[in-house]
Amino acid sequence: MSLFNQSEKAYLMLANGQVFEGKSLGAKGTVIGEVVFTTGLTGYQETLTDPSYYGQIVTQTFPLIGNYGINHEDNESARSYVSGYIVREACDVPSNFRSEGNIRDFLSEHNIVGICNIDTRKLTRIIRETGVMNGVITTEDVYADRDGLLEKIRTFSINDAVRNVTNNEILTYTEENPKYKVVLFDFGYKRNIRQELVKRGCEVIVVPADTTAEKVKEINPDGIMFSNGPGNPAENVEIIENIKEIQKLGIPIFGICLGHQLMALANGGRTEKLKYGHRGANQPVIDLESGLTYVTSQNHGYAVIGESIPAEVGHVSHINANDKTCEGIRYTAVNAFTVQFHPEAHGGPLDTAYLFDEFVKSMESEVK
């Protein structure tokens, strides 16, 4: 891929054959992915660097993206994992004291093919009505080999997602005099999960996705975090088998997003693909124990089927206020709780950051 003039045409074609014509944004080329939308008004940099978007072409429903610029501090990972990017209007001249660049240059530097100046409201409506579908963004003539492109679009699938985003080495992060040691499984984790743990006095050992129970036992942590990540949770057969053994260690476990789904699958639950998923910073979640509703940040296309969790294993603790899907599980057979949303918030509301405190308390009680 190479840089090119921002006035050049670009095309988005969906699996149903519908074509949107707009302007190029970012790098030149052709990319295929699963077209999804996110409703966040802010947090576009966190979205672009969230590994959970691996294999997806992301549509921002908010009409203006890039107005506060880009900076190195807000990245949630070392690079961008989106397959492509769609916005209504891109701001080339951001205004913010933290800004170090604009969205167009960021996409170019990360070789992300994007498109702007299309009707994102119409596109979002299509996805909401028909469900997520594959698509292609191209700066070539989309009509030159339309049938060939459609065949590639329709046969595309996201495979080995976790394997493609996890780090294959063990890394340690800490501040002075940590109180606890936490193993953070890297299924495609967001940096702020690590930072929330560190600022609560934890030494965080980030381990590869396929780390075994034997290795965890060797590290001897006070707590275990199963992170967020991309793809179909059910395809991670080896990881699910590892989790079955890891939970037998009796170490407190906290799971987020994909970690929540994998934990459920390891305990006899089932998952399903949602019609268009939950992506954005405004998803309402009800805590069934307190009755309180929290506004949460979310990014997932799959959900745990709440009624599939065996009663002797655990129970649903949180549900989505909109569609009543499972948003959290409290386990009774093992020392664990998991949630489908992002309590580390970036980007999004801070309503549920207390869950990190609860995780620390669970480690504190075990250490005593």
* Contacts for 196 with CB less than 8 Å, ≥ 6 apart: 343, 344, 353, 356
- Our answer to whether residue 91 is catalytic in this structure is no
Helix (H, G, I), strand (E, B) or coil at 173: strand
Please tell me which residue in 116, 202, 257, 326 is annotated as part of the active site. 257
User: Residue 237: CA atoms inside 13 Å, Cβ hemisphere, count?
Assistant: 2
Asked if 224 contacts 187 with a C-beta cutoff of 8 angstroms, the reply is: no
Which of 297, 148, 147 shows the shortest CA–CA distance to 228?
Answer: 297
CA angle 56, 61, 64 (to 5 degrees): 115
Residue 342 annotated among the catalytic residues of the structure = yes
Single out the residue of 327, 334, 332 nearest to residue 355, CA to CA. Answer: 327
Q: Which of 181, 12, 199, 191 has the alpha carbon at shortest distance from 87?
A: 12
Block residue for tokens 């949770």:
233
- CB of 335 closer than 8 Å to CB of 251: yes
Read off the tokens for 325.
């899907």
Let me know if 318 is a catalytic residue.
Answer: no
Pairing of strands 271-287, 293-304: antiparallel
Amino acid residing at 103: I
Residue the block writes with tokens 């949107």: 20
| Cα three-residue angle 282-115-13, rounded to 5 degrees | 95
Give catalytic residue positions. 257, 342, 344
